[in-house]
Amino acid sequence: MQQAIPYRTWQPIPTTSRIDAPPNMDKLDGDKTTNPSDRLRNLIKENAVLVLGRRGCCMCHVVNRLLQGLGVNPVVYEVEEEKEVSVVEELAGISGGDDDRRLQFPAVFIGGRLVGGLDRLMAVHISGDLVPILKEAGALWL
């Protein structure tokens, strides 16, 4: 008899929830006086392209493949399930929260501005505006 494989086969990383953290994130994580909202704000400001998403999300994988196909190496911040609500609230505060669209994962920030999720990123790409935005943000040099 075959045994079913559980949906969650990955082990959570207890120390960090990021795969590709920028080199200066150790300094930010070690500073206990900085609140999490300021750390997330600094992460958004310091990186040309930042993708926030759920761990193991297929749409996050599609966003990463699209950006890598264009020659961009985005910083990926993977949010664990327990912290999703607090991260969404922080992002709503950072991005203004007055937008009529609901913040969802993956959230793509280019040049410190929220582009949106996979659907908005694909729409910008299809319209031909994504490459100029990436060049303006300093993520592409071509």
Instruction: Give pTM, 2 decimals.
Output: 0.70
pLDDT score for 101: 56
Q: What is the pLDDT of residues 22-66, one digit of tens each?
A: 444 444 444 554 566 678 888 888 889 999 988 888 999 999 999
Residues 117, 104: contact at Cβ < 8 Å?
A: yes
Query: Is 12 inside a domain boundary?
Result: no
What value does the mean pLDDT of the chain take? 76
6 domain-assigned:
no
Q: Is residue 49 part of a domain?
A: yes
Of 121, 10, 12, 124, the closest CA to residue 64 belongs to 121
Domain span including residue 50: 35-137
Domain count, the chain: 1
Q: Is residue 100 in some structural domain?
A: yes
Q: Which of 20, 24, 136 is nearest to 78 (CA)?
A: 20
Kindly report the CATH number assigned to the domain that includes residue 62.
3.40.30.10
Q: What is the pLDDT of residue 13?
A: 44
Whether residue 92 lies inside any domain: the answer is yes
* pLDDT > 90 in the chain, percent: 30
Is the per-residue pLDDT at 93 higher than 60?
yes
Q: Are 121 and 110 in contact (CB under 8 A)?
A: no
